[in-house]
A = this chain, B = another copy of it.
Amino acid sequence: RVGPRGEDQDLLLAAAYVSDAQYNRNVPFETSPQAVRLYHFYNHWTMRAATYFFIWVDLALALFEEPALFPLPFLATSIAEVLCLTAFFGRLVHFAKVTPQMVFWKDTKNICIMVTIVLTLIDLITYGSLEAVNIHGVRWSRALRPVFLINFPESRQIRRAFRSIRNTLPDILYVFLLFIFSVLIFSLMALKLFGDRGLKTVQGSPYFTNILDIAFELYVLVTTANSPDVMMPAYEFNWWYSLYFITYIIINTYIFMSVFLAVVYNNYRKHLKNEIRTLAYLKRHKMIEAFNILKVKVGTEFVVKEAQWRQLAKVVEPDISSSHLELLLRISDEGQKGYVDKTNFLRLADLLNIQVVTINIKRHPLEAWMPRVYQSSPSLLVQKMVRHRIFVWVYDVIILINAIFIALDEKNPLISYAEWLFLSLYIIEILLKLYTYEPRAYFGRKQFWNWCSETGMLDGCVLFPARKYNSQQILDIVLILRILRLLRVIVSIQRFRVIVTTLINIGPTMLTFGGLVLVVYYVFAIIGMEVFHGKVHFFDPGSTSPDALVCGNPALKDSAFARGRYCRNNFNDLPASLILLTELTVVNQCFALLADGFALVTHQAAKLYFIGFHVVVVILIVNIFIAFILEAFFVAYSLEKSEVETAIEKKIQELGVGVQEEEVQDGKLIDNVDAKDSGFSGDDGDNKRKALKGLYFRIASKKYKTVDALLQQMFESEIAPEDEGPSLEEILNFSPSDVHPKNPSFENSA
């Protein structure tokens, strides 16, 4: 179907669909040629980067505004903020031109951004004019800044995490109410049991006499922050009373906190599957749209011509190398018939997503240069030695010994000399490896582990000059890098790899959580800075001022807060606030201490701020984080022994075996490199190689895929290739309960 538009325009439209399918973007865009062109521009990486740049500038403004780490005048920060707002507005206008009017105004994301822009402007103007007449206002709109981070279409992952939280809320709420109820019942009991005993706490204040204080103490006990202090007076009075606290801890700390995790995890899992199903169907939907645009009839079936297919791939992925393109075409057009059929066309997005590493297999330069010397028997012996397992083990042992030397006293001159010895050993290792392996092959492999050990060696070269200048910062970084060398040892042990690989896979999605946590922290930090800034001051450790003992606030006299030298934990600038919030996340005695301290310098109600933070961060976000790690590991474990390969990967492998014969001979080198350095070769054939015109292709290991990608892949392999999927309406209205089978079986119930 060649529409009224020209071929170029068709190609652009199809490319937009394919690109959306490739990156799982779900933006309903207009199909007019101009809108499609604008949409391509909208998705261009420069535009996205600019948006992120302005978002970060906007968030970073808190560093320069009162209370500031680096103070700047209000005029400067407000101009910067207005600039950011303009950029956001521009981006929004761009988006409005791309998407249909109806859809644009129905989307809460866009409304949110607009409202926030208007509110921020109002706040800026009010604050500015109040400041002009010397009245100090509150810059409340600053707490809204994360809205921009959440609501731009680029932050799909963060929004998904938020959706996850929102979906969990109703279920969590009931457990939370039950939990609060239980805390209150225990508070009542405590009041009756201990209130009239005349007991005193360690600080000499009356023990458990006020129901509100009791409820707060018991809430804190759930965080385990004041255990066993809160119990000691009653325990000293009669040891039977400790049973009350043990019961409380079992019920509220262990059982209820596990129930929170169970509820969060259950919801997380349910919604994850639903979202993945939706994504998979939407992807197929988009690929079918793209096919329908480009298809021509050949014989009885609709296909896409090879030339068009090539052009399309080039538009979607402008940087694709021609050999890579050739490989993909060979996979898509099996019979070399000059066209790609529907089933193969639908795979294009997946094909483009497969990371194919191209390795130019060449002879070692030395071999070309002086073949007789390089092929002589001593030279071959050296090469064999370097390729042997024992070579790796010897260097692992050397690294371990080096670590022990690092742990020992460095002032000892002998140890200082030993460091030179280790450095030369590492340099020898590099040289030997360069001698044995083709240099470009050695450095070209994007292997995480390789780089780890490389940096470990390089740092040595930096270390010694740096020590002369005694530049503290550089030395610190180099020292850390030196110790990272130890990571190489882990990699040589097979059993650790599954764990480490899963941990590395989690990495990218962890950034999502980073975003989520940042949003919550930022809002709490801004609120905390407005409420608590300047209440507590930090004095240099050497300071002899009497104020230093009470953190500059007489209200803290004799408090545990001041005694514990906690003055540095304050809300006086953004980094300090964020670090304080991190400490609160790691609930501990500091939780009670900090809450008490800030309540002392302001009002008892300040404790609500700390409890609120605990509920949001520890009960919700940390649990989602744990749920996410659990899920990642369960998927990793359940796939450990099975071969989950997409049809495409199988095909690449088949094609590889069928085409290339000389591979066997040259492959040996790669095999050796793999087995020794990449560390992820062998067992289940995930390092399939494909040689084409002297090039080797390797598929990035399946083990490096994220949970989402793995699950989506599994789901897609379960949809039949002819299945057109439900209609767009149906897809968008999937509900999570559809995913769960009505009659759970023994297999999937638990």
Contacts and interface: CB of A to CB of B under 8 A. Distances in A.
A421 interface: no
Contacts of A430: none
Contact of A635 (B191, B626, B745, B750): B750
Contact of A629 (B236, B242, B255): B255
B631 A750 contact: yes
A114 to B, nearest CB: 35
Contacts of A583: 227-228, 231
B496 A266 contact: no
Contacts of A589: 588-589
A232 B565 contact: yes
Nearest to A256: B503
A41 interface: no
Interface string A127-156: 000000000000000000000000000000
Given A227-B588, A499-B174, A586-B227, A483 B634 contact: no
Interface string A219-244: 00000111111011001110100100
B579 A242 contact: yes
A262 interface: yes
A147 to B, nearest CB: 25
Nearest to A409: B195
Interface in A447-495: 476, 479-480, 483-484, 486-487, 490, 495
B707 A750 contact: yes
A321 interface: no
Nearest to A251: B503
A457 to B, nearest CB: 17
A29 interface: no
A725 to B, nearest CB: 15
A265 interface: yes
Contact of A499 (B259, B403, B590): B259
Nearest to A236: B568
Interface string A621-660: 0100110011111110111011110000000000000000
Contact of A232 (B403, B480, B568, B644): B568
Contacts of A747: 741, 748
A566 B496 contact: no
Contact of A633 (B178, B262, B407, B715): B262
Given A188-B483, A189-B480, A564-B229, A249 B586 contact: yes
A672 B146 CA distance: 53
A73 to B, nearest CB: 24
A489 to B, nearest CB: 8
Nearest to A592: B589
Contacts of A626: 254, 258, 261
A442 to B, nearest CB: 26
Nearest to A214: B407
- Please give me the 8 A-B residue pairs with the lowest Cβ-Cβ distance, nearest first: A262-B633, A748-B748, A258-B629, A589-B589, A192-B479, A228-B583, A715-B746, A638-B744
Interface of A: 174-175, 177-178, 181, 185, 187-189, 191-193, 200, 202, 211, 224-229, 231-232, 235-237, 239, 242, 246, 249, 253-255, 258-259, 261-263, 265-266, 269, 272-273, 403, 406-407, 476, 479-480, 483-484, 486-487, 490, 495-496, 499-500, 503, 506, 538, 541, 564-566, 568-569, 575-576, 579, 582-583, 586-590, 622, 625-626, 629-635, 637-639, 641-644, 707, 711, 714-715, 718, 737, 740-750
22 contacts: A174-B495, A181-B486, A181-B490, A187-B407, A193-B479, A224-B586, A232-B566, A236-B565, A239-B575, A254-B625, A255-B503, A255-B629, A262-B634, A266-B634, A272-B750, A588-B589, A631-B750, A638-B750, A642-B743, A715-B746, A718-B745, A747-B748
